Amino acid sequence: MYYGQVVIGPAGSGKSSYCHLIQGMAKTLKRNILVVNLDPAAEQFKYECILDVRDLISVDDVMELTKLGPNGGLVYAMEYLIENPEWLLEEIGNLGEDDYVLFDCPGQLELYTHMDLMRRVIDSLKRVGFNLCSVAMVDSTFLSDEPKFFSGILMALSIMMNLELPHVTVLSKCDLVEDKQNLSKYLNADYKQKKVDFYDLSHIEQLKKEEEEAPAAKSKFELKFHNLSQKIKQIVNLQT
């Protein structure tokens, strides 16, 4: 039985930096954490990579040979990896019992949310004895913007449902958050007492009242999707 993490998230969310930091921490603790790059479009990373999918196929090569764009090239490359599972499985088949593996995955969310490509890669790893969990990276700067925050959380929930793995959502790039007090609300929330209320949407009720008096004065989008926003808020608070 092998253990590892599938590190996922949008492009630029900090996946490679996370793998680099975890690998560095493991060295300090005298632990053996290995990193596998599963992103055919990766340009550079700081971690020590034991296996790089670009040795099998890269997006640049696909684009040159097939004339596909970057997104189509990435999908083609992942399909090629799935069609040649023996390459991946043979390369990681000699792991020791104490080895722990981080799989640094592509940043194209379609691979996780409504396509089965990453699910098939994960199934291949499970068949050779991997016990995996998914780690979804969400940019901490999203916390200061309600629409971005909701989209990030719903992205993580969608990935969790699609991959069917034990799941952890990690807030990345915390050093870029200007309002540290706002960040503290999330990190120190009392989840057991269910006192978490990430966003107060009660202002929409006031908008509704004002809309009756001046119909064109307020955002019709907010008014139209008020009930949907409340339901999403309930899901977010329940899942956390």
Query: For 9-44, what is each residue's pLDDT tens digit?
Result: 888 888 999 999 999 999 999 888 999 999 999 888
Closest CA to 156 of 142, 136, 133, 140: 136
Residue 46 or residue 217, greater confidence:
46
pLDDT of residue 144 exceeding 70, the answer is no
What is the rounded average pLDDT for all residues in the chain?
79
Please say if the pLDDT value at position 87 is more than 50.
Answer: yes
Q: Give the per-residue pLDDT at 37.
A: 93
What is residue 104's predicted lDDT score, i.e. its pLDDT?
94
Per-residue model confidence (pLDDT) at position 110: 85
User: pLDDT of 52-77, one tens digit each?
Assistant: 999 999 999 999 999 899 889 999 99
Tell me what the mean pLDDT of segment 109-128 comes to: 86
The predicted model scores a pTM of 0.78
Decide yes or no: CATH 3.30.360.10 for domain 2-188: no
Residue whose entry in the numeric block shows the structure tokens 């004895």: 129
**N- to C-terminal Cα separation, the chain:** 30
Q: Give residue 44's pLDDT.
A: 83
Q: Is the pLDDT of residue 181 over 80?
A: no
Q: What is the mean pLDDT of residues 215-226?
A: 61
Residue 191: the pLDDT is: 46
Q: Which residue intervals of the chain bear CATH 3.40.50.300?
A: 2-188
* Percentage of the chain modeled with pLDDT above 70: 73
Query: Which amino acid does the sequence have at 23?
Result: Q
pLDDT at 90 over 90: no
Please state the three-class secondary structure of the chain as a single string. CEEEEEEECCCCCCHHHHHHHHHHHHHHCCCCEEEEECCCCCCCCCCCEEEEHHHCCCHHHHHHHHCCCHHHHHHHHHHHHHHCHHHHHHHCCCCCCCCEEEEECCCCCHHHHCCCHHHHHHHHHHHCCEEEEEEEEEEHHHHHCHHHHHHHHHHHHHHHHHHCCCEEEEEECHHHCCCHHHHHHHHCCCCCCCCCCCCCCCHHHHHHHHHHHCCCCCCHHHHHCHHHHHHHHHHHHHHC
238 compared with 82, residue with greater pLDDT: 82
The pLDDT of residue 2 is: 85
Q: How confident is the model at residue 219 (pLDDT cuts 50, 70, 90)?
A: low
Q: Is residue 214 over pLDDT 60?
A: no
The yes-or-no verdict on residue 133 having pLDDT over 90 is yes
